[in-house]
Amino acid sequence: MSEIVVTAENFRTEVVESDIPVMLDFWAEWCGPCRMLSPLVSEIAEKYKGKVKVGKVNVDEQGGLAQAFGVESIPLVVVMKNGKVTASSVGYRPLEQLEALLEK
């Protein structure tokens, strides 16, 4: 697994201070669309290794982060560059649409 588990404890170092773009997948174990999206997120982590950091945020375990990002529906994919949100998408999306988020 090339994705990293993002928590409140490592958010600053892994996301805000990252020198490459970061794609965050906000998900939960009980969420069907999240489970469908997970293999695509893993594929992006492999395909863009070294170019994009991919992190998984479990909203049940990281309520503070979910609240900070205003998560109301999951899965939520957020792309951040230089500590700022550049793109986001709610719900299941095919691989091409996830990759398009990285281009924004």
pLDDT of 96: 97
Q: At what angle do helices 32-47 and 95-103 cross, to 10 degrees?
A: 60
- Could you read off the pLDDT of 57-67 as tens digits, one per residue? 999 999 999 99
pLDDT of 1: 55
50 is in which domain, residue-wise? 4-103
- Look up the CATH number of the domain holding residue 66: 3.40.30.10
Q: Which of 6, 15, 22, 34 is catalytic?
A: 34
Whether 31 is catalytic is yes
Q: Which of 6, 22, 31, 78 is catalytic?
A: 31
b/e for 80-99, b at 16 or more Cβ within 10 A?
A: beeeeeebbbeebbeeeebb
Whether 90 is catalytic is no
Per-residue pLDDT band at 2 (split at 50, 70, 90) = confident
Q: How many domains does the chain contain in total?
A: 1
- Could you read off the pLDDT of 30-62 as tens digits, one per residue? 999 999 999 999 999 999 999 999 999 999 999
